[in-house]
Structure 1
Amino acid sequence: MVTVVAHLDDDLLFIEPAISEHLRAGWCVTTVHLIGGANGANFAYVQKREEASRLAYARAAGVSNSWDESTIRIAGKPVFQLILKAQPRVRLLELRLPGGAVRGGRVPLALLWDQGAALTTYPMGGGELPAARYTRDSLSAVLRTILQDATRIATLNPDTVPFIEHPDHIYAARITRHVAQTLGRSLPIGYYVTYPTGTWPATLFGDEAQRKRDVAASYFSVDGNDFAHVFGEYQWDGNWILRNYVRNDTTLHKQQDFVALPSVLFNTGANQCLTSRGAGHQPALAPCDDMTAQQWTWLPRPAYPGNAHNAALVSASTGLCVGEHDGTLAEEPCEEWNASQRWTPWDFGLIFTPSRRCLGEENNRLHIRGCASLTTRYRWSAARPSWSTDLRLAGAMYGDVAGQGTPSAIYIQRRPDGPGFDVLVQTSILSKPDEPENWYANAIHFDSRATQPTCNAETLCFDSARYLVGDFNGDGRADLMVVTPRKGGSAFWLLKSNGNRFLAPTLWFQSDERIPADRAQQYIAYSTRESPNEKVLVAMQRPDKTVELWTVGANRAGHIEQTKVLDSARFKSGVQLLSLRSERKAFAPFIAIQSTDDKRRISVTPFFLDNGGWNTGAPLLLSSQFKRDSTRFASDAGTDMSIVIAVPHFAEPGGVDVWKWNLARPMSAPVLLAYLRDIRWQDATPAVLHDANSAALFFYERTDVPLTNTFFSAGKSALARYVFDRKELPATPMEVFPLPAVYSESLWLERLVQ
């Protein structure tokens, strides 16, 4: 496998884990770094980045960081070669070309490829050998020699424009594709998307994610002496660890240097897509669907490489360009040199209009303003759903951890010093909440020079874990259960509550290989009237994309066991389970929420434990106004079989509509309780909580705060509380409680598929 990238971290952030996977499968892996250093840095920084890359690749191979270094000749040019001594199937080739600026400025690689410029590299060897000089032809010859023995090629995304992705990324990929197409044989080639994936749904979980964090953190422990951001989810490099997006092709598919690929422009503040309204009209924000009017292409415009305002925004439905005139937008015929049609698509989700201001959303309408102190309302994504609409993610959990008859909020916070987490608890949230406290600090030391993974079968790491709250030992206090992969199955670790802290984890149950963690769609705590000890219901994905149900809990003799209880082809792999409450004796109702076969409706199927057996009821259909990818559900635990439904309020000026549905009367329809203007659907998850005296609807939400231009998300968490009397809901919150947790750092994977 030959990987060709621009910079010495591109392979680790964007192509991994593909390189490590091929290495573990017995492949030889060669990685070519075209650029030395970055942004015209001195030679010492080039050497620093190469030192970091050596450490990262040794970590990925699981061997000591010892390399054979030499300067070899390839097609007549000197190339610095590194071969890992303990694993010689790993080879790094450093061309050390000068790099370009990430957000505008000179781009030497583009000048070489498009303008016929000649480039001089940094010195070779340890600095004692002279630099090389490259032209387009000589660079092509070197790459052709390297690629000629490849059986698979990986590179970055050639089919985009600056500065959605770094100009060096784009040109490294275009050059690689061009040279690979001259080899005259069919080779699989993968084009990996870089910066934009930070707003896209995570694709890596469990051990795969933890290993990638280890490798990247080892790199940044040298380059910048800071690995903390790699264990986060909102800062630049941390955004990309859990994401891996590739477009696979073949070298016999002849393509030009640039191929226009249309995509959506999804506003992460409004949860809507930019939509064409035709000639002479301004585009608008509208609910996302699959229509062509929401497809847009960034087309490059003639400009000196590295210049800003070098792309046209073109509607795929009309072929018209969007121009800006006196602060307003309109679709109009495209003119190549028209300055009012020259935009700057920017990495990290910002879009600069031709007037050098930022495009965003206010009150559900497009808005143009200066680019200081921007929130997510001015962040855009080229895919939906983005991080904020990924229905697999959960935030706060709730339970009576203090044993006082009233619920508390429990949330998991990533730690920046490694892959561990802290467990924070806020008690008495239905009355006057106490200040959140850290009930358990799960610090896991990260050793940048270790050869073994930081996370193993006995450690509880954030990305590998799933969480649920319940009274699993029957003492009247809710406990925290952490489920991790172990021994081919799922390990259930109990963090018992003593009323003011969670105790150290103990292994509550180890499943066999029939409940593997990587196929567990969802874990959910539930209770029966026969025992105060709560059990765990597990939805397991099957190879045929249906789901079977298992329970894990104590039998009549008190022994914890796993039992397969329901194998129903009705439940698909994307199902969401909710536990309800019923006053009926020996009746524990649940519902399974999923899309219908045609994806147009939401199906809700009740299933229940009745007289010792598990059965399913007839599926109920929600009306077509409830879309699966924009509807959130919460169980109303204080009533008999009711749920609360939260959907975006797309009409001006946004917010959330809250509905209630009593499933004890299956022929009834959901009833609209309230329109909550202050809640942003994409940044909030609902829960209905009760005690003996009161009830409230809570939203665990992200506050809409200014973000720096390298952050996609971040923001503090808050709990918004609304009085809830089962019949109506006030339109304004009773109170909003700021929390110390970072919102994006406290979102965890509740289920595998949405």
Structure 2
Amino acid sequence: MRPSAIRLVRDSFIACFALFVFAFLPASAHAADCGAGTLVTVVAHLDDDLLFVDPAISERLDARWCITTVHLIGGANGADFAYVQTRERASRLAYARMAGVPDEWLESNVTIAGKLVHQMVLKARPQVRLLELRLPGGAVRGGREPLGLLWEQHATLSTYPMNADGSVRVKYDRDALSATLKAILAQATLIYTLNPDTVPFIEHPDHIYAARITRHVAQTLGKSVPIVYHVTYPTGGWPGNLPAAEVQRKRDIVASYFSIDGSESSHVFGEFQWDGNWISRRYAFADRTDRRVPDFVSHPIQLFNAAASRCLSSAGPGRAPALAACTGSPAQQWRWDPLTVYPGNARNAALVSVATSQCIAERDGYLVAETCDQWDMAQRWTPWDFGLVYTPMRHCLGENDGKLTMRGCTALTTRYRWATTQRTQANDLRLATAMTGDIAGSGEQSVVYVQRQHDGPGFNVYAASLANASPPALWYANVVPFDPQATAPSCAGDRLCFDSVRFLLGDFDGDGKADLMIVAAREGGTAFWLLRSAGDHFEAPRLWLQTSNAFRPELTQQYVAADFTATGRASVLIAQKRADSGLDLWMASPQRSGGPAGSAPTLWAQARSLPQNVNLLVRETVGARAALVAVSSTNGRLALTPIANEGARMSVGERNVLPASFDPDFVKVTMGAVHGRDSNTLILLTPHLGESSEEAMIDVATLDTSGAGNTPAQAATLHGLSWSDVFPAFVRDKQGAALVLFRRTDATLGDFYFTGGAPALSRYPSGNGLALGEAQELGKLPGLFSETVRIDRLTQ
């Protein structure tokens, strides 16, 4: 037989044998079906995809897409090979949890465009594939930047080993890396990566170069593919924008990752450190690969100081910039223009005013705007990835008594943190902290607040007296175990988790003591769990009401508890978003039998004219049915709308637009019986932004809601307090009337901590017309302030 015939027989036998073996393999080992689509995500480090891109990856996986994630960097800057392997093991566990299957993988080295790449394929879901290029990484704070050297200086990099025994390294230059990425991206129907259009060190230089390389290569594919870029570090200070269910799932996935890479997950279940903040956020911008753009596109930013509630503002050529009330004017728009520096150099950007095109220099200890000169060391700034801004002389820019200041960069507080946009957590008006009520039935009001637990997604409920400075008491502990190896969600079934529930306080059983109500998604609808007050603790949750799937938390702008039926028992108003416009107001009332259960919601109003971003406040009159006032932002103005209670229905009144001096982004409101038990006064807190201010101050105004067209009147000024740090309430009990502030105490921050300080209580006794007396400090409370902050409404 001729050799060619022998080869033909041999090849046919091999092919038949392969088909035979393939037919008897389990379905999970077959080649993945990518008919739904192929997502390729390219990031720098092995947690970037989990922290900044997900839940977008999870969504595609749920839709049966093929998921390929490319990690360019192995380990971290200066890490040994053992750490590379640790991070890959952590990533495998996280993706297995994302897929809801056991952590079992097929690992191999595959050749792509002539280069070995380490591949990990999930056995039970083979459409999940992780590709590890294992390139060396750069540092967060400046120093050698290998990826930048490869891309800009045409350096050749050697990877970490490709084999577990430490053998076989791969060399990459710019052309080789481009060819490898191009081969990977060729099958993509959607591409995700990080943010190419920023400068170190606002975001990690590895993040930026990974994104620029991906964009550059994607533009050579010769086809139009959607490509989405994800902002990374700065989002930690921006408002949370992910739905509650996605946040809970993402916390599980990221916590599983950090159970290996770090061996603890406390920062993941909280928001006191940046990792925890990133989990509830995803900010991205989209493009297509056939639109050619340069490696870097400059976007104007603001520099917002939350402690001062002010923006950095240009004062013109030859003058120093200053802090001023945020207006969005060109004078408050800035650019970080990259300078010609060796990749990894910390002094790498000029701070340029968009209005004047001048650079800010530091000379003789002062800042001044002058003509830009990229070679002038006095104009070389260091944008900082965790909110600090370093001046050319290595001072830190900050705020002191409402003024712009510079100082040494040790022992800094939040007054030296900056955000790249005015829209931050500091003025996210959806947020809530403490609730107030007579939980003991003693005639005295207490503060009830909820603290995250750090070993899982559970929470603790504390109560603190408003009568005297005494340690708060633990009224209820809700432990939710976290198992990093689990495939099922931690918050499945009837488990109540901090991020996916909302809280109400009211006397739901009519015994004179305020109870806690917890609202959660359940069985396709909404569950209302009642924790009755026993006078010194809250009892275990019992199901008060389960709704149909017509009522879901993700559709409900706000829940409000009050005695809307004048029966001495609180009902729950459900403000549900309509599909066309406005809100439907539904009422879930206690059953007439007097038992500890609620009746199915009934429709009380179709409020089409109400904006969906309202904040509903209760208007109470002793012995009468509670009514509402809706506070909303309309066309940049703050507006009030009265909502009358007519027994079994509500009617929406005329909208009253407040003076333009009340910026809707900087007004915190509460309702109180300021002029007696039957009065209803709106109390408005705004930051004092007067140019002569020598300290942080808060202006307090009042507005009588009983008459249409009333305007707010200045009532008081609070000194030494930052508006962003306080949450107001007004109480009236046997101790008298008082304005109460649940607030954050400022504290020294670590490098990776977004905020610092314990919660504290201040009580300001109120005379007639909110004539506030000296503050009664009720002391610091246990835990961290940031761990008591929760989302109370869907939109603002």
TM tier, smaller: over 0.9
Q: Is residue 2:610 matched to residue 1:574? A: no
Are 2:614 and 2:631, in contact at CA under 8 Å, matched by a contact in 1? yes
Could you list the per-position Cα deviations for residues 583-622 of structure 1 after superposition, in whole angstroms to 9, with x for gaps in the alignment?
A: 5x644221011123xx132221111212443222222221
Aligned to 1:725: 767
Aligned to 1:245: 283
Aligned to 1:673: 715
Q: TM-score, normalised by structure 1?
A: 0.98
2-structure distance, mates of 1:252, 1:108: 28
Query: 1:205: Cα distance to partner?
Result: 3.1
The letter of the residue matching 1:749 is I
Query: 1:10: Cα distance to partner?
Result: 0.4
Equivalence map 1:464-543=2 (5 Å): 464-528=500-564, 530-543=566-579
Aligned to 2:33: none
Query: 1:528: Cα distance to partner?
Result: 4.0
Aligned residue pairs: how many? 749
Q: Is residue 2:600 matched to residue 1:561? A: yes
Are 1:214 and 1:448, in contact at CA under 8 Å, matched by a contact in 2? yes
CA RMSD of aligned residues (A): 1.3
The letter of the residue matching 1:535 is S
2-structure distance, mates of 1:358, 1:524: 44
The one of 302, 326, 342 aligned to 1:304: 342
| 448-457 or 632-641, which deviates more | 632-641
The one of 461, 467, 470 aligned to 1:423: 461
Are 2:272 and 2:784, in contact at CA under 8 Å, matched by a contact in 1? no
Aligned to 2:110: 72
Q: Is residue 2:591 matched to residue 1:552? A: no
Are 1:722 and 1:729, in contact at CA under 8 Å, matched by a contact in 2? no
Q: Is residue 2:755 matched to residue 1:713? A: yes
Aligned to 1:384: 422
Aligned to 1:225: 263
2-structure distance, mates of 1:613, 1:342: 64
Query: 1:693: Cα distance to partner?
Result: 4.1
The letter of the residue matching 1:448 is P
Query: 1:728: Cα distance to partner?
Result: 3.9
Are 1:676 and 1:732, in contact at CA under 8 Å, matched by a contact in 2? no
Are 1:588 and 1:610, in contact at CA under 8 Å, matched by a contact in 2? no
Aligned to 1:698: 740
2-structure distance, mates of 1:424, 1:729: 30
Equivalence map 1:119-134=2 (5 Å): 119-134=157-172
Aligned to 1:659: 701
Q: Is residue 2:75 matched to residue 1:33? A: no
Aligned to 1:182: 220
Aligned to 2:188: 150
Could you list the per-position Cα deviations for residues 462-490 of structure 1 after superposition, in whole angstroms to 9, with x for gaps in the alignment?
A: 00010010011111111111101112221
1-structure distance, mates of 2:283, 2:652: 38
Secondary structure of the 2:386 match is helix
The one of 597, 601, 605 aligned to 2:641: 605
The one of 669, 681, 687 aligned to 1:633: 669
Query: 1:732: Cα distance to partner?
Result: 4.5
2-structure distance, mates of 1:654, 1:128: 58
Aligned to 1:750: 792
Are 1:554 and 1:561, in contact at CA under 8 Å, matched by a contact in 2? no
1-structure distance, mates of 2:506, 2:783: 22
Query: 1:725: Cα distance to partner?
Result: 1.5
2-structure distance, mates of 1:622, 1:200: 27
Return 5+ residue gaps in structure 1 as ranges. Answer: none
The one of 208, 213, 216 aligned to 2:254: 216
The letter of the residue matching 1:717 is P
The one of 88, 100, 109 aligned to 1:62: 100
The letter of the residue matching 1:665 is G
Q: Is residue 2:688 matched to residue 1:644? A: no
Query: 1:385: Cα distance to partner?
Result: 2.1
Aligned to 2:632: 594
Are 1:586 and 1:611, in contact at CA under 8 Å, matched by a contact in 2? no
The one of 463, 466, 477 aligned to 1:441: 477
Query: 1:692: Cα distance to partner?
Result: 3.0
Aligned to 2:726: 684
The letter of the residue matching 1:432 is N
The letter of the residue matching 2:741 is F
TM-aligned CA distance change 1:227 to 1:128, over 3 Å:
same
The letter of the residue matching 1:67 is W
Q: Is residue 2:369 matched to residue 1:331? A: yes
1-structure distance, mates of 2:224, 2:272: 39
TM-aligned CA distance change 1:693 to 1:716, over 3 Å:
closer
Query: 1:734: Cα distance to partner?
Result: 2.7
Are 1:109 and 1:171, in contact at CA under 8 Å, matched by a contact in 2? yes
The one of 302, 311, 317 aligned to 2:355: 317
Query: 1:735: Cα distance to partner?
Result: 2.3
Could you list the per-position Cα deviations for residues 47-86 of structure 1 after superposition, in whole angstroms to 9, with x for gaps in the alignment?
A: 0000000000000000000001110100100000010000
Could you list the per-position Cα deviations for residues 260-282 of structure 1 after superposition, in whole angstroms to 9, with x for gaps in the alignment?
A: 11111111211111111211111
Aligned to 2:23: none
Are 2:581 and 2:609, in contact at CA under 8 Å, matched by a contact in 1? no
1-structure distance, mates of 2:633, 2:341: 47
Are 2:700 and 2:717, in contact at CA under 8 Å, matched by a contact in 1? yes
Query: 1:457: Cα distance to partner?
Result: 3.4
Secondary structure of the 2:182 match is helix
Query: 1:642: Cα distance to partner?
Result: 1.2
Structure 1 or 2, whichever has the larger Rg, is: 2
Secondary structure of the 2:423 match is coil
The letter of the residue matching 1:221 is S
The letter of the residue matching 2:378 is S
The letter of the residue matching 1:43 is F
1-structure distance, mates of 2:454, 2:770: 42
User: Alignment identity in percent?
Assistant: 51
2-structure distance, mates of 1:675, 1:128: 66
Are 2:233 and 2:385, in contact at CA under 8 Å, matched by a contact in 1? yes
Secondary structure of the 1:735 match is strand
Query: 1:103: Cα distance to partner?
Result: 0.5
2-structure distance, mates of 1:654, 1:679: 5
Q: Is residue 2:776 matched to residue 1:734? A: yes
Secondary structure of the 1:673 match is strand
Could you list the per-position Cα deviations for residues 354-407 of structure 1 after superposition, in whole angstroms to 9, with x for gaps in the alignment?
A: 010100011111100001111111000012221121100001111111110111
TM-aligned CA distance change 1:587 to 1:482, over 3 Å:
closer
Secondary structure of the 2:571 match is strand
Q: Is residue 2:334 matched to residue 1:293? A: no
The one of 655, 674, 679 aligned to 1:619: 655
Aligned to 2:230: 192
The letter of the residue matching 1:640 is S
2-structure distance, mates of 1:494, 1:586: 24
Are 1:589 and 1:641, in contact at CA under 8 Å, matched by a contact in 2? no
| 698-707 or 350-359, which deviates more | 698-707
Are 1:718 and 1:737, in contact at CA under 8 Å, matched by a contact in 2? yes
| 703-712 or 466-475, which deviates more | 703-712
Are 1:674 and 1:731, in contact at CA under 8 Å, matched by a contact in 2? no
| 660-669 or 200-209, which deviates more | 660-669
Are 2:446 and 2:463, in contact at CA under 8 Å, matched by a contact in 1? yes
Return 5+ residue gaps in structure 2 as ranges. Answer: 1-38
Aligned to 2:15: none
The one of 461, 469, 488 aligned to 1:452: 488
The letter of the residue matching 1:684 is V
Are 1:350 and 1:358, in contact at CA under 8 Å, matched by a contact in 2? yes
2-structure distance, mates of 1:337, 1:719: 51
Are 2:195 and 2:207, in contact at CA under 8 Å, matched by a contact in 1? yes
